Structure 1
Amino acid sequence: MQNQTEKPYSCEVCSAAFSRKDGYKRHMRIHSGEKPYSCELCGSAFKNNSNLKNHIRTHTGEKPYSCDVCELKFSNSSNLIRHKRSHTGEKPYSCIICGSEFSQNSVLKRHLRTHTREKRYICETCGGAFIASSNLKIHMRTHIAKKDHPCLECGSVFSDSFGLKRHMRVHTGERPFQCDVCPMAFSENSDLKRHVRTHTGDKPYSCEICSSTFSRKSTLQKHVQTHSEEKQYSCEICDARFSVSSNLRRHMRTHTGEKPFPCNACDAAFASSDHLKRHLRTHSGEKPYSCLVCESSFSDASHLTKHVRTHTGEKPYSCQVCGAAFSDCNGLKKHIQTHTELE
């Protein structure tokens, strides 16, 4: 019988060794670039049959792999394995330079570039170089494509019919993407995916610098700015400074009183989209934030945070005059008045 450790098949290019001939053949396609497995629907080609099978599910919509914690479904097993780490907190990939840990190998690879400063993603239009593919995608938007699909309602113009179709939902109110867990519906599939994370707790966006995780890409982008002390955006009225331009725009509304986010269900209007989203839950009754101790549900994450302190006894707000501590800032504010009234 052949020795279990014997590897008679050796790669002449990189010296990798294999115990089976089929494993050796699959490996050699890395060097040759051979892709013998083709999709009959779109012509895409793959190095091995398993990759072709996974690809075909993008056409059929089949998702045979289900999470036993939250029941989300996936088209391939590797995506399910990565997703499960959002429940277990497992971070099996660690940086050999700084020790930061990550749940995905791809995120570790991006993180390593923050040490090496390697910029492997090149813009074919202007030659700009970027550490991450996501940064290149954002940059590519600066090379604006021709826009010849106008909206007859408001005059906005789009580069393709798909963009125009999505935009029209602003006028029609159409919300074709329905949450399977609660009654909420959305005009964009991306909005639905973000919403589903409020039920699952999934946080797929990881900071390459400190490994903090976030449920939304925009939140990650704002967080990354906190690692830079530079605050290049300043308010012309009160000299407040911000590291993100969107934070400056929101701040300016405290001076102008502008409330550009109106509620479609009532006459209320808000200075930020986040405040509007919280308000909409008063109409829908949605309470996506649940206490793990007593299962109470809340419409706002901050309400859940305050509630959890009734279980933990945490009192993070302390009076600088007498040292009394409180579980929320409102309790502290009321207490401080007792000092000012004595003066």
Structure 2
Amino acid sequence: MSQQMQTQTGEKPYVCEVCDHSFSQKIHMLEHMRTHTGEKPYSCEICDSSFTLKQNMLVHMRTHTGEKPYSCEVCGNSFTQKIHMVDHMRRHTGEKPYSCEICDSSFTLKQNMVVHMRTHTGKKPYSCEVCGFSFTQKGSLTQHMRSHTGEKPYSCDVCSSSFVTKQHYVQHMRIHTGEKPYSCEICGSSFTLKQTMLLHMRTHTGKKPYSCEVCGLSFTQRCMLLQHVRTHTGERPYSCEICGSSFARKQTMVEHMRRHTGDKPYSCGVCGSSFIRKRLLVLHMRKHTGEKPYSCEICGSSFTQKCNMLQHKRTHTNTK
């Protein structure tokens, strides 16, 4: 029987003697056997990497030549392998062919679905040999290992800062480029980080998912809740090394330290005045711009600071 007929009928007459996998063509069985023998007969002439399949060697060669023969018709991005181009196209089409059988989440890549399934099974197959921590993804283990080695392989060409992950490096670079790729659909404000944009959205929705168990006050961010809880416990974990004053918030301690050091990192670009807090610079700038963002709802008078507006409103209600 011809190989084409075997493929059409589903017949698989070639069986692996090691694991009993069967194949419709002898060549596929021989290629499979290399997974058992470790044979890699195809070698790269440039870097001596070796491969079990000729096709894998040809794909590898493109890392040296830079050839990317598969192009996206929508945005023009090009890829070394057709499968990568197909995966990429799903970003444009929105197709998510891989679905979770438990929660119906869907994914563009099969690997992402496999990793997601581990959130249900609790499986963490990648373990740190140093401290025993385990992870759902190999990449997460690789990043974690840098906490032991101190390696920071991603360096900024502008200021020489270095980072453990590529994501943190990309985010840092936006400080230099000014790029803010995440925009609020309601007011148009833009942000360098997606998480910052999501937090901003809560100012529109009013969502405050973090609540104090003592008094019931709720907050948009977990860190704000933790700071608030210290008003109940009296905890002040941040101490000044010079005078011993302690603070509930790290930022308050940093600003306090500037009173000792004289450091004023926030400078006015108009007159050169400098300040220990960014907020003080913002208030100062309104003297130059004339901005008065706080208005009295009763008479329309406007003020540079909210506290001054509230004090003014009391003249209408005759309250002190």
Q: Per the shorter chain, which TM-score range?
A: 0.3 to 0.5
Structure number with higher relative contact order (C-alpha < 8 Å, ≥ 6 residues apart):
1
Q: Max radius of gyration: which structure? A: 2
TM-score, with normalisation over the residues of structure 1?
A: 0.45
After TM superposition, the score normalised by the length of structure 2 is: 0.48
